[in-house]
A and B are shown apart, each in its own frame.
Chain A
Amino acid sequence: GQQLNQSPQSMFIQEGEDVSMNCTSSSIFNTWLWYKQDPGEGPVLLIALYKAGELTSNGRLTAQFGITRKDSFLNISASIPSDVGIYFCAGQRSSGGSNYKLTFGKGTLLTVNP
């Protein structure tokens, strides 16, 4: 099946530092989504990207849809302790018979030391 390579697998940072994580794919997606999952909870959508090259911000979060449509990155600036969690990228096609499926990366576990 479709695979998304998400890196890094985990990050340990100090409060106040900036964070960057990314996802790459061997095939094209038409939508990229970034989710955060807290322990014991479901994924919560952070940012959705719909156009190649698009750069979108949500507070301290910024995400970009790669120009090749095969990659995306998420930046978190000035991290705070509540940023702790697992961040997932997900790709979605908008054409073909299975355009409703999300393909997820394996996640980046973020730990923020106060």
Chain B
Amino acid sequence: NAGVMQNPRHLVRRRGQEARLRCSPMKGHSHVYWYRQLPEEGLKFMVYLQKENIIDESGMPKERFSAEFPKEGPSILRIQQVVRGDSAAYFCASSPLPQANTEAFFGQGTRLTVV
């Protein structure tokens, strides 16, 4: 049973470009959570999605950031018109039930560098 798969592992974008980060949850998991980790910081919650639904996006910046988890395929975190401050590690976690009832497993992350 493969773990949470994120790709790419590393992504370099110029300012103004778009970044697309993908997350394939563990098999059987329909709940996905995205977290951002700035250098020397802990992870901060961004968004919680179930299949085809955004449940909570309160931790995601209102502009330039969007997330989806379609019926088929991975969850996507999209950052438009990236700026240097978007440089961070972005982690995805998945769980079979809402996280309050079970532990979530994290992927290896995508390290975004904006140059």
Q: Is the CB of B100 within 8 A of A42?
A: no
A45 in the interface, Cβ–Cβ < 8 Å? yes
Q: Is A51 interfacial (CB-CB < 8 Å)?
A: no
The residue on B at minimum CB distance from A31 is: B100
Contact present for A105 and B42 (CB under 8 Å): yes
Q: Is the CB of B106 within 8 A of A43?
A: yes
Is A98 positioned at the interface, with any CB of B under 8 Å from its CB? yes
B106 close to A104 (CB less than 8 A): no
**Contact assessment for B42 and A88 in the assembled complex, using a CB-CB cutoff below 8 Å:** yes
- Would A106 and B41 count as touching, CB distance under 8 A? yes
Q: Check A102/B40 contact, CB under 8 A, given A41-B109, A42-B91, A43-B106.
A: no
**Which B residues are CB-close (under 8 A) to A74?**
none
Residues of A within 8 A of B107 (CB): 42
Interface residues of B in 1-58 (CB under 8 A from A): 4, 6, 31, 33, 35, 40-45, 48, 55-56, 58
CB-based contact A104/B44 at 8 Å: yes
Asked if A113 is at the interface (CB within 8 A of a chain B CB), the reply is no
Q: Check A94–B100 contact: CB distance below 8 A.
A: yes
Interface size of A by CB at 8 A reads: 28
In the complex where A102-B45, A104-B42, A104-B44 touch, is A44 in contact with B106 (Cβ < 8 A)?
yes
In addition to A99-B99, A100-B56, A101-B45, 19 A-B residue pairs with Cβ atoms within 8 Å of each other are: A4-B42, A6-B42, A40-B109, A40-B111, A41-B108, A42-B6, A44-B106, A90-B43, A92-B99, A98-B58, A100-B33, A100-B55, A101-B48, A101-B99, A102-B43, A102-B104, A104-B42, A106-B41, A107-B40
15 A–B pairs (Cβ distance < 8 Å), ordered by A = A31-B100, A33-B103, A41-B109, A42-B107, A44-B106, A88-B43, A93-B100, A94-B100, A98-B56, A100-B31, A100-B56, A101-B59, A102-B35, A102-B99, A104-B35
Interface on A for B, CB 8 Å cutoff?
1, 4, 6, 31, 33, 35, 40-45, 48, 88, 90, 92-94, 98-107
